[in-house]
Amino acid sequence: MSTPIRQVKGIGLFTEQALASAGITSVESLAEATIEQLVSVPGFGPKRAELVIEKARQLMADVASELRQERPDEVSSPVDLAHREEKKKKTEIQKGKDKQKGKPKDKKKKKDKKDKSQKKKEKKGKEKSKGKKKTKK
């Protein structure tokens, strides 16, 4: 079963025709295409190629997810499995970065709050002592 390429967001009639001339006629073939292949198609640069491939893979993942809900005993397509692995790696990398960044920032914020409150107390104490000195004179 092939999914019509026009279901990919950003693919219109002109782009569909240009991709067809390059032999890419379905979402599946678009998801399996390389950036280099798409750059040779009129209207595609590296960024757009990467974006359209990602959208095609996402659409395939969504369709596969819907199919799994309907028929959970069937195996996922290789493209879907590759996409899931890639997404999982990105998520793990992001979680690692968040952990590295998050904890020190939180500690720093707490420390800054303590420093600010401490400075306010010191400032109030100095003002009171100045006020007392002025009244004594």
Q: Is the pTM of this model over 0.75?
A: no
- The DSSP element (H or E) to which 134 belongs, if any, is helix 78-136
State the residue range of the domain holding 99.
Answer: 5-129
53 within domain boundaries: yes
137 within domain boundaries: no
Q: Tens digit of pLDDT for each residue in 32-60? A: 999 999 999 999 999 999 999 999 999 88
34 within domain boundaries: yes
State how far the Cα of 55 lies from the Cα of 10, in Å rounded to an integer: 9
Residue 104 has pLDDT above 90, yes or no: no
The number of distinct structural domains making up the chain is 1
Whether 49 and 11 have beta carbons less than 8 Å apart is answered as no
136 within domain boundaries: no
123 within domain boundaries: yes
CATH number of the domain encompassing residue 17: 1.10.150.20
